[in-house]
Structure 1
Amino acid sequence: METPHFIRPKPLTAGSRVAALSLSSGFVSEVPQRYAAGVRQARESLGWDIVAAPNAFRGAEYLYTNPQARADDLHWALESPEIDGMVSIIGGDDSIRLLPLLDRGLLRAHPKAFLGYSDSTVTLMQFLQAGGMAYHGPAVLTDLAENGGMHPYAVRSLQQAFGLGSYQLSPAPEWTQAKQDWEDETAQQIRRPFEKGDGWVWLQGGSGEGHLLGGCIEILDMLSGTPGELPLDMWHGAVMALETSNDVPKPSQVGYWLRNWAAKGVLAQLSGLLLARPRDYTPQMVDELYTWVRRVLKEAGCEDLPVLANVDFGHTSPQMTLPLGARVRLDSDAGTVQVWP
């Protein structure tokens, strides 16, 4: 079975014109000052010129009632010669309603960079199915609009993911889950409290190399059995990256989802597994999660699969950007994750 190859879109760099899309929740219309902070800080830290898609600010009720308007914004961004790439404004829970409305021919004809996480996993998977790389990383209202300015770790990771040379992933020097009041404009200038970085955890050792696939575990499960799900053969030789959302699924539920992937034949095809720092988990829940992961991998005969946990992507801050479709190599002996974007 051949390993899939993904087209690398034009990188987002200083001077890029980036469309901001509301593909799920239209919440942005309630916090325009937070959006403005994200646009300003992305310009200051990355040199991006972010422009709102035509329907992005139509309001939560309108966009919920009119999923076609959301799909139209994606199509507009793909076809517009003035748009270099796209970024999700915020997640939500119903991007899956766009699946029947997407023009996959446009995804193939106009390979452009798309950046997002959480519910944006739906859209990320469609870019991968169309044969192009996609970028699991910050949204406008989260890391781009981080209180006190974009975190240097998030900025560097974006630049690395869109850069030309290979690089190594690194643990964040600090992290936070402190709540933010996005409606408080004065708080926008106040940096949140951060905890000292706690590093990575190798749950299983070894080395493995493959193309990177994955996203938010709840959304990947939601896609199961739909046309938006990645085909089984696309997982052949892949390194899977999984993150949990602020819905805080129980460790046992994560275990059940992994069992489903074992039953589908996905786990047996993998070359490695990356697990994000789980959002809002207590230390006891983290221990339970790791126990479940090891248990399911043993059940599936995957005890030799290299597994790295507590990685800084997804619903954590600052979060790294993962170039889905890129080659990655895990090596527990060296303690490294090398990426070829």
Structure 2
Amino acid sequence: MTPSALPVYPPKPAPGDRLAIVSPSSGLPGVLPLPYELGLDRLRKEYGLEPVEYPATRKMGATPQERADDLHAAFADPTVKAVMASIGGDDQITVLPLLDRELLRANPKPFFGWSDNTNLLLALRNLGMVTYHGASVMCELGRPGALHPLTADSIRAALFTHGPYEIRPADRFRDTDKDWSDPATFTAEPEMRPAGGWTWHGPRKVAEGRTWGGNLETLAQLLMADREIERDPAAYEGDVLFLETSEELPAAEKVFRILRSMGERGLLARFSALLMGRPKTWSFDRPNSPGEKESYAAGQREAVLRALDAYAPQMLAVLDVDLGHTDPQVVIPYGGEVRVDGYEQRITVTY
């Protein structure tokens, strides 16, 4: 499973190229077409790309084999220059054993997705590809109102450019949602609230390395199933860890226990820095009040820092970074290079 070399950046698409749209996790485009169609329209009009769909893209309940077949078709098609997930889900781990890894390795392409797509991002990293954590069709591109400028610029840079890109903290953010089946949801700009900036923790230093991580709950599943994770923690020496939690709002103690397990495995101490995404604090199942949101976010921050203090006290960490289940969202290169400057408090990724 160990990659033969460091991940490399596949060739980028250009405006006018074909972009595969796949649903490796959930076929929600078939159930909730409004944000999906809006996202496709923006890919065409804002980015000049031509979306290409596959048999399972809009199929809710597609089998793992059907989803793997779509991935193989997308990567093998020489006219398709990049691949993007429609949305996440919760069972992409069942697709991993069905992947034709030699086909994927022989046809490297930029892949965009996040949340449950951490499964595929990690598998592709292990095959030697730099991919992109962020920018799904239904969430970021199908955002109500308009594309957020911070998100839109990050997606454009990740899609089309090579080289360093400095990410900056958002002034305001959103973590509440409205009904995607209601057309009125998409006619108004979402309600935003003050972001409060990033929180820096740990020694003042500069950390540079390749990124590894993604959605914390998905990584926990992979660790339990012993999938895609290097047996020797030294494989991650000097890498930069980035993590985010989902709309399932895992309890602070659960977050701590997952990180504790990573610490006991010897993983946490190997990373040179941590970028922790701003936590989602509201869901339809848990419509938290403003006070409950703040309490939940504070509890998660405390859990993360408690784990670092126990297992990686010399790690430089940045909390509340605009990655993962938040709006706006910046794209993080998965397996790509990142520089975390604790002196100037700046983060620069390489797309």
Paired position in structure 2 for 1:228 = 227
Q: Name the SS of the counterpart of 1:223 in structure 2.
A: helix
2:217 alignment partner in structure 1: 218
What is the SS of the residue equivalent to 2:223?
A: coil
1:332 is aligned to 342
| Equivalent runs, 1:93-242 vs 2, <5 Å | 93-162=90-159, 163-206=161-204, 207-226=206-225, 228-231=227-230, 232-242=233-243
Question: Structure 1: which 5+ runs fail to align?
Answer: none
Mapped contact 1:3–1:236 kept (Cα < 8 A): no
Q: Over aligned residues, Cα RMSD in angstroms?
A: 1.9
Q: Is the 8 Å Cα contact of residues 332 and 349 (structure 2) preserved in structure 1?
A: no
Cα deviation per residue 1:16-47 (whole Å; 9 max; x = unaligned)? Answer: 31111111111211122321111001222222
SS at match of 2:80: coil
| Counterpart position of 1:6 | 7
Q: Which amino acid aligns with 2:215?
A: C
Q: Is the 8 A contact 1:239 1:271 kept in 2?
A: yes
Superposed displacement of residue 78, structure 1 = 0.6
- Please report how far the alpha carbon of residue 174 of structure 1 lies from its aligned counterpart in structure 2 after TM superposition: 2.1
Query: Within the alignment, does 1:89 sit opposite 2:90 as a pair?
Result: no
Shift in alpha-carbon separation, 1:167–1:33, aligned structure 2, 3 A: closer
The one-letter code matched in structure 1 to 2:99 is: L
Bigger mean CA offset, 14-23 vs 196-205: 196-205
Q: Indicate if the aligned counterparts of 1:117 and 1:137 stay in contact, CA closer than 8 A.
A: yes
CA contact (8 A) 2:35 2:139 kept: no
Give the match's secondary structure for 1:155: helix
Tell whether 2:70 aligns with 1:73: yes
- TM (normalized to structure 1)? 0.93
SS at match of 1:257: helix
1:18 aligns with 2:8: no
Query: Is 1:284 the equivalent of 2:281?
Result: no
Aligned to 1:256: 257
Taking the aligned partners of 2:74 and 2:153, their CA distance within structure 1 comes to 25
State the partner residue of 1:305.
315
State the identity %. Answer: 33
Once the two structures are TM-superposed, the CA of residue 139 in structure 1 deviates from its matched residue by: 1.0
Partners of 1:203 and 1:247 lie apart in 2 by 26
Whether the aligned pair in 1 keeps the contact of 2:4 and 2:128 (CA below 8 Å) is no
In 1, Cα distance between the equivalents of 2:210 and 2:15? 27
Cα offset, 1:225, TM superposition: 4.5
Moved more, 164-173 or 141-150: 164-173
1:111, distance to aligned residue in structure 2 (A): 0.6
Determine helix, strand or coil for the equivalent of 1:224.
helix
- Give the SS at the match of 2:339: strand
Question: Higher mean Cα deviation, 18-27 or 224-233?
Answer: 224-233
What secondary structure, in the 3-state scheme, does the structure 2 residue paired with 1:24 have?
Answer: coil
Tell me what 1:317 maps to: 327
Q: What is the rounded CA distance, in whole Å, between the counterparts of 1:46 and 1:198 in structure 2?
A: 31
Query: d(CA) in 2 for partners of 1:178 and 1:291?
Result: 22
Secondary structure class of the residue paired with 2:121: helix
- CA offsets per residue over residues 232-262 of structure 1, 9 Å max, x none? 3442211000000000001111111111111
Does the CA contact (< 8 Å) of 2:32 and 2:180 recur in 1? yes
List gaps (5 residues or longer) in structure 2. Answer: 283-292
Aligned residues: 336
Equivalent position SS for 1:278: coil
AA aligned opposite 1:101 = L
Cα displacement (A) at 1:3: 11
Contact 2:274 2:317 in 1 (8 A): yes
